[in-house]
């Protein structure tokens, strides 16, 4: 993970849960974990797809996307 995208801190999440912080929503406990899992899944899917193509140099870059879900919005890199 990069500095602006730290790994999900399980111990911090437990502490926040004990303090009554919400699980879902923009500032929810699980929102960073959902973001991290979604980005990893999309990256793996793209890598798998590009391995199947015969044409070289198909990956031209990445852009940020804002995902709106029932649990709140978050930005994917």
Distance CA 56, CA 71 (A): 38
Q: Model's pTM, two decimal places?
A: 0.54
**Which residues, other chains included, contact 62 with Cβ-Cβ below 8 Å and sequence gap of 6+?**
77
As a whole number of Å, the CA-based R_g of the chain is: 16
Q: d(Cα 35, Cα 66) in Å, to the nearest integer?
A: 10
23-69 pLDDT, tens per residue? Answer: 887 788 888 888 888 888 888 888 877 776 566 555 666 778 888 87
d(CA 18, CA 9): 14
């Amino acid at each position: 993970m990069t500095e602006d995208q730290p790994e999900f801190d399980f111990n911090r999440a437990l502490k926040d849960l004990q303090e009554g912080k919400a699980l879902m929503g923009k500032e929810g406990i699980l929102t960073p974990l959902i973001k991290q899992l979604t980005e990893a899944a999309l990256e793996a899917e793209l890598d798998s797809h590009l391995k199947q193509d015969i044409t070289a140099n198909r990956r031209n870059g990445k852009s940020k996307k804002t995902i709106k879900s029932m649990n709140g919005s978050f930005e994917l890199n």
